Every structure is written in C-alpha cells, then in structure tokens.
Structure 1
C-alpha cells in the first residue's frame, strides 16, 4: 500500500529534473515498471504504435495522419491545417525537452487518435522511437 505514494513522489521528483528525452522516458519507464515487472522500452514497439491505425477518428486514425509517415518531417494537423514541427529529436532538438509539454500532448493526442489515455509503457516506447529514429 505504501509503494504507490512512494512511486508517485519519485515520479514527481524525476519530472521536476527532466530536461532530455532520455530523462523524460525514464519517468514513464519507472511508472511502467511499477505496473509491469521487467518492462524495457522498445523503439520497435514505438514505431509500430506510431503507425498503428485506430478506429476512433476517421480524420486522424494514426499519429502519421498529422505527423507524416516520417517523424523526421514537418507535418500538418489533419483538421486545423496548423503546421507541426517534426516529432523526431534528430530533426527537432526542442522536441521532448519539457515534461509538462510532453504529458500535455500525450494527453491530447492519445485521446484524439487512440481514443483513450496512453499507457506509461506506450509513452516510453514512443519516446524511445522518436529519440532513435534517424
């Protein structure tokens, strides 16, 4: 029973100090590990998640609907037409550098595209993929 508050405090502490994609990924890895023993993030699963088709929204059935087939390229929001900077860290150094922004966009995009909140494991995999894609 004490483990949950301890994990929450640890995650809050990590979030305050996260400034790199690797540090932000570790927040989600810690959370995923508390739910699934032995969890290890995977760029391959992150890539599959990026390309997965969800039946929730016809205009945005995949992440690639707005972010193109390559996270190294700029995209455009499928509904508003607003320009979107590349997702990949290699193409956008500012990407995945602010934990509050990362969580905000996961919250919004997971709801719109996936139709639910993304799991900590999905977030860790996604960040791993975006950090490694070249």
Structure 2
C-alpha cells in the first residue's frame, strides 16, 4: 500500500512538473551527477528546497541583507528590478516568459552572478539544481 501511495504522489508530481529543453536537461543531469558525487545520499532536486533558498535572506557581497527576491520579487511571474543597477528584470517564471531557462550559458552566468551577489559565494550543484527546479515550475 505504501508503495502505491508513493507511486501516485510521484506520478502527480511529474504531471505538474515542467520540462527543461534538451540542453538544459543535460546541464541539470551534470548538476545531479555533481551533487551525487558531493553527497552519495542525494536523491534528486527539490523545488521546495529551491523555494526556501530563493526566499532566504543573507548578507550579500556588498554587506547588506539580500535574497533572490530583492531583485526578482516574491512573484516570479512579475518583472523585477536589479537593486544595484536599477535595471528592469523580465519575469523569471517560464510560464510567462518562455525565453527563461532555455540557454545554458546564460543560466550558468546568472547563477554565478546571483549566488555571488546574494550569498557572497558560488552556489553548490545541489543549490543550483534546487533553485532551477523551483523556477521551472513557476
């Protein structure tokens, strides 16, 4: 019975999950392999962990309190504004901005910059994968 419930929950989760394009899926697979190498108990990326990370507050590289929402807002379907440059940022949610999470080089560049801005360090493979899993489902 427990296995049946788990299969139903997993199936429903997969039905609701959005898919990455082929290059992004390859990148996600690379992050997954890296996360597994760092932690043999790694079982997959988690949107809930990604959401928690996205909303968490930290001392950013400039010393002030920052979170991803400082620029991207609490609703990823809305545009935001870079707090350092005041430049507008288009909506991060792929459901309203089909160009999001489609270009691996662009995603890698912004993950590197944004983790450095918010966390004052590079993100781990687990953190990147979790955040991307959260965003793709918005």
Residue 89 of structure 1 deviates from its aligned partner by: 1.5
Mind listing any 5+ residue stretches in structure 2 that lack a counterpart? Answer: 1-20
What TM-score does the superposition give when structure 2 sets the normalisation length?
0.76
Q: Residues 39-50 of structure 1: matches in 2 within 5 Å?
A: 39=42, 40-50=44-54
Distance 2:70 2:120 in 1: 15
1:23 to 1:92, Cα distance in 2 relative to 1, 3 A: farther
Aligned equivalent of 2:119: 114
In structure 2, the residue matched to 1:65 is 70
Residue 94, structure 1, aligned to residue 96, structure 2: no
**8 Å contact kept, 1:59–1:78:** no
Computing the radius of gyration from Cα coordinates, the structure with the larger value is: 2
Match of 1:75 in 2: 80
User: How big is the alpha-carbon RMSD for the aligned residues of Structure 1 and Structure 2?
Assistant: 1.8
Q: Which runs of 4+ in 1 moved over 2 A?
A: 17-20, 22-27, 56-60
Shift of the alpha carbon at 1:74? 0.7
Output the CA distance in 2 between the equivalents of 1:86 and 1:58.
26
Residue in 2 that maps onto 1:13: none
Measured against aligned partners, the alpha-carbon deviations of 1:81-130 in whole angstroms (never above 9, x if no partner) come to 11111112112111111111111111111111111000000000001001
Mapped partners of 2:80, 2:107: distance in 1 = 17
CA distance, structure 2, for counterparts of residue 59 and residue 92 of structure 1: 29
Contact 1:60 1:78 in 2 (8 A): no
Aligned residues: 116
Q: Do residues 53 (structure 1) and 57 (structure 2) align?
A: yes
Residues 74 and 84 in structure 1, CA contact (< 8 A), matched pair in contact too: yes
Unaligned runs of 5+ in 1: 1-16
Residue matched to 2:33: 30
